[in-house]
């Protein structure tokens, strides 16, 4: 009987997460457009691509603002819908645990997760609305994400003992909650934000990563984390209905900040630091590539007569690397080609993450 109840609770929360995210995202698109909160879809053009490619090649390095009139407008900051839906679903889960299952286990961890996501989402939403990414320096932006780590630090989440390669087991003591946890939150929150700019990319990568976490927590018998991770996957699926090509809404920093913080949270709460680091390697690579341009390079592509092309001669992003590879393999590269290739790249590290479980 208990097993049946648990299955029903799982189905209810997953369906609720998916449906609520879809509903709130659809409502947000209308509100954002009505309030003028829209952005340009830089990988598309309202003109014939062949004609536009000639125009863009002239203006690209001179004045990109002149190109915007020929770009479709899309609702921005859609990540706020994901955050609201996820928070409400998690409160529903807590309600069911309290009044139906009669359990109070892991309340502190769940509420800490909610507070952390809300802080990350709020900072990202402010960035989306006010455009802080253009108004403050990179180091200032890093400091602004520091408060996001406070909830995990104050409850002393996770285990301070970690197994390091070639060294073995090391107990970091207070350095774990006071230094390593904040570094993980700051790094993941800002790092996830770097690999973005293509329809369905951020949400799709999130679905892959949190599906992997769901599998991990089932293997390691941490059912509450597995369910929460599954709730995130279904919320992202509800958002992806509107964010997949051709996108009706952009995720914005409100989604990328939230997803980045969640990766760090699961790594800490699930004692899965090694697994989380492996999953995050594409974003680490992205950070290294971006550093070559002093974090000034854009991810979006340049229109070519036969599809999308890299915007720079140098490679400053995994999106640029994907474009260069695809241009060699295909006659015409599309936005979906880039997105699917990065999905595949992320899946490689999911496989490596599970293989790492076999190594002790």
Query: What is the predicted pLDDT for the residue at 133?
Result: 53
Domain range for 50: 2-274
Residues 79 and 337 sit within 8 Å (Cβ to Cβ): no
pTM of the model: 0.92
Flag whether 279 is in a domain.
Answer: no
Flag whether 47 is in a domain.
Answer: yes
* 54: number of Cβ within 10 Å: 10
Q: 13 falls in which pLDDT band (50, 70, 90)?
A: very high
The pLDDT of residue 167 is above 80: no
The pLDDT of residue 223 is above 90: yes
Flag whether 326 is in a domain.
Answer: no
Provide the number of structural domains found in the chain: 1
DSSP 53-73: HHHHHHHTTT-GGGGGGGS-E
Stronger pLDDT, 286 or 99, i.e. the higher one: 286
**pLDDT tens digits, residue range 274-295?**
999 999 999 999 999 999 999 9
H/E element holding 304? Answer: strand 302-304
The pLDDT of residue 329 is above 90: yes
Flag whether 316 is in a domain.
Answer: no
Flag whether 329 is in a domain.
Answer: no
Q: How many Cα neighbours within 13 Å face the side chain of 98? A: 8
Query: What is the predicted pLDDT for the residue at 64?
Result: 53
CA distance 247 to 250: 7
**317 DSSP assignment:** S
* 28: number of Cβ within 10 Å: 23
> For all residues of the chain together, what is the average pLDDT?
89
Flag whether 70 is in a domain.
Answer: yes
Hey, what are 358's tokens? 């076999």
Flag whether 340 is in a domain.
Answer: no
**pLDDT tens digits, residue range 34-91?**
999 999 888 886 655 544 444 454 444 554 554 555 688 999 999 999 999 999 999 9
Q: 173 falls in which pLDDT band (50, 70, 90)?
A: confident
The pLDDT of residue 196 is above 90: yes
Flag whether 317 is in a domain.
Answer: no
């Amino acid at each position: 009987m208990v097993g049946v109840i648990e299955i029903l609770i799982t189905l209810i929360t997953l369906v609720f997460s998916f449906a609520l995210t879809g509903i709130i995202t659809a409502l947000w698109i209308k509100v954002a457009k009505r309030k003028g909160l829209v952005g340009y879809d830089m990988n598309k053009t309202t003109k014939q691509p062949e004609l536009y490619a000639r125009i863009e090649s002239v203006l690209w390095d001179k004045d990109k603002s002149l190109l915007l009139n020929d770009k479709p407008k899309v609702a921005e900051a859609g990540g706020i819908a994901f955050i609201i839906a996820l928070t409400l679903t998690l409160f529903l889960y807590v309600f069911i645990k309290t009044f139906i299952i009669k359990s109070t286990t892991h309340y502190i961890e769940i509420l800490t997760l909610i507070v952390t996501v809300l802080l990350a989402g709020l900072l990202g939403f402010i960035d989306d609305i006010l455009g802080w990414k253009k108004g403050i320096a990179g180091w200032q932006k890093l400091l602004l994400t520091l408060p996001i780590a406070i909830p995990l630090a104050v409850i002393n989440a996770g285990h301070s003992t970690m197994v390091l390669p070639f060294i073995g087991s090391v107990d970091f003591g207070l350095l774990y909650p006071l230094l390593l946890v904040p570094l993980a939150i700051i790094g993941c929150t800002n790092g996830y934000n770097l690999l973005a700019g293509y329809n369905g990319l951020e949400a799709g990568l999130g679905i892959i990563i949190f599906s992997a976490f769901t599998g991990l927590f089932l293997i390691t018998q941490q059912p509450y984390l597995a369910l929460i991770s599954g709730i995130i996957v279904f919320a992202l699926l509800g958002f992806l209905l509107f964010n997949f090509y051709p996108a009706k809404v952009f995720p914005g920093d409100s989604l990328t900040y939230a997803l980045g913080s969640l990766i760090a949270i699961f790594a800490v709460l699930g004692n899965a630091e090694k697994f989380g680091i492996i999953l995050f390697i594409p974003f680490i690579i992205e950070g290294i590539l971006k550093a070559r341009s002093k974090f000034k390079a854009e991810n979006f592509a340049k229109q070519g007569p036969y599809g999308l092309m890299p915007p720079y001669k140098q490679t400053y992003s995994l999106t640029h690397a994907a474009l260069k590879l695809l241009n060699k393999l295909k006659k015409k590269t599309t936005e979906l080609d880039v997105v699917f290739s990065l999905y595949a790249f992320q899946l490689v590290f999911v496989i490596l993450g599970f293989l790492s479980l076999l190594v002790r």
